[in-house]
Amino acid sequence: MVDGEDESTADEQGEFGHVPVLLGRAVEILGPAIEAVGPGGEGAIYVDATLGLGGHAEHFLRTYPGLRLVGLDRDPNALAIAQDRLSEFSDRTDFVHTRYDGIADALEECGLDRVGSVHAVLFDLGVSSMQLDEADRGFAYSKDAPLDMRMDPTIGITAADVLNTYSHGDLARILSTYGEERFAGKIASDIVRTREKSPFRTSGELVELLYRAIPAAARRTGGHPAKRTFQALRIEVNSELESLRDAIPAALDALAVGGRIVFMSYQSLEDRVVKQELTPRAKSRSPEGLPVELPGMGAELRILTRGAERASDEEIEINPRSAPVRLRAAERIARR
C-alpha cells in the first residue's frame, strides 16, 4: 500500500492495479517461518492484515502450496477483488471484512486460536493503490471528488464531516499531530471561516483553500501543499493510529514461537507506533545485574531489521510508490 503523499507516482502497475511493495524482502523474512512448519508451508497460517488487492498474498500462496491464508481488509470492494483474484486458492483461503485491530476475532471466526496459531503476519499500511486511484473515494488531492476518505465506505464519518463539524481546536490538533502541518492553526481558521458560508463537499474546494492558506514560500518546498492535510484527515477518519496500536499486540499474541511479522509503514507516525510496540518486547524485564534470567521475564521478540529498512533505488524505479516505505520485522522467540 501507499501513503497519500505519493499519489503522483506509480503509473507502472500490475494487472490488478498495483505492484506489491518490497515483495522480495517480505518473502525473505517471512519465508523461513512458513517453511519451518512443514514442506511447502504445509500446516502454516499466514495472516495478511491489510489484504488490499491481494498482491502479496497471491505470491505467498503460489510459493507455498500448503500455506493457508487469512486475509483481512476493512474495504469491502478491495476484499471482493482480492477474493476473485485468489479464487484458484479457495480451498486454503479465508477472507474477513474487518479492520486489522479485529485480528483476534477474525482468527476465531476462521476456527483458529487467538494465541499462538499463526506463523507469518504482514501489515502493509497506508491507503491502498486502488483507494488512491478511485477518484470518487476522495483520497487523492490531485482529483476533485467528494470528501469521503473512508477505507470502509459503509461506516463512520467522512472527511467532509470532520471539516464541517470539528471545532477550530480539534482541527488544528489533527492537522498538527497527524499531518505534522506547521500552518495547522491558520488552516483551521480558514476552514472555520469558509464553512460558515458554505460547507465543504469536494477535495477541490479544500485544495483551493490550502493554496490560499499556506504561504507561497512554503509551497515551493516539501511537495504538494495539500499532502499533509489530506494525510491528517485520512488518519482521523479511519482511526488509523488507534487501530494500529490495538492491532499490534493482538497480532503478536497470535504468533506462534518461531513465527514472524512484517510491518510496512509509509509515514513516520505509523513507523513510530510500530517501533514503540516492538521494542519493549525485545528486551528482558529481569532486573539488571542478576546472574540468570528470571523465568518468564526474558525477551519475547527478536528484531529482524536494523532500524527501519527502506526500499532500494531499484525497487523505487520499478515501483515509485515504495519510495516512502519503512519496513520493520520481528520473530517471536518466547512467550511470557
10, amino acid identity: A
DSSP state letters, 64-120: -TT-EEEEEES-HHHHHHHHHHTGGGGGGEEEEES-GGGHHHHHHHTT--SSS-EEE
According to the annotation, is 54 in a ligand binding site?
yes
Q: What is the mean pLDDT of the chain?
A: 91
- Going by pLDDT thresholds of 50, 70 and 90, the confidence category of residue 14 is very low
Residue 10: what pLDDT?
A: 33
**332: helix, strand or coil:** strand
Residue 27: what pLDDT?
A: 97
What domains are there in the chain, each with its CATH number? 4-130+240-332 (3.40.50.150), 138-238 (1.10.150.170)
Q: What's phi and psi for 273, nearest 5 deg?
A: -60, -45
Average pLDDT on 222-246 reads: 94
DSSP structural state of residue 156: S
According to the annotation, is 100 in a ligand binding site?
yes
- Going by pLDDT thresholds of 50, 70 and 90, the confidence category of residue 3 is low
- Going by pLDDT thresholds of 50, 70 and 90, the confidence category of residue 310 is very high
Residue 202: what pLDDT?
A: 96
Residue 12: what pLDDT?
A: 33
Residue 231: what pLDDT?
A: 94
Q: Of 23, 43, 48, give the one whose Cα is nearest residue 33.
A: 43
- Please give the grid coordinates belonging to residue 38: 512443514
Residue 138: what pLDDT?
A: 85
The stretches of the chain forming alpha helices (DSSP H) are 23-35, 55-63, 76-85, 103-109, 129-133, 159-165, 168-179, 184-195, 203-213, 216-219, 227-238, 240-254, 268-278, 313-318
Task: Choose between 294 and 178: higher pLDDT.
Answer: 178
Average pLDDT on 237-246 reads: 97
Considering just the CA atoms, what is the radius of gyration of the chain in Å?
21
According to the annotation, is 73 in a ligand binding site?
yes
Q: What's phi and psi for 303, nearest 5 deg?
A: -75, 130
Average pLDDT on 23-49 reads: 97
CB atoms near residue 216 (< 10 Å): 8
Whether the per-residue pLDDT at 6 is higher than 80: the answer is no
Whether the per-residue pLDDT at 29 is higher than 80: the answer is yes
Do 214 and 187 contact (CB within 8 A), yes or no?
yes
According to the annotation, is 126 in a ligand binding site?
no
**pTM of whole model > 0.85?**
yes
pLDDT digits (tens, 9 = 90+) for 258-282: 999 999 999 999 999 999 999 999 9
Average pLDDT on 289-305 reads: 85
Q: Which of 68-77, 114-123, 140-149, 203-212 has the lowest mean pLDDT?
A: 140-149
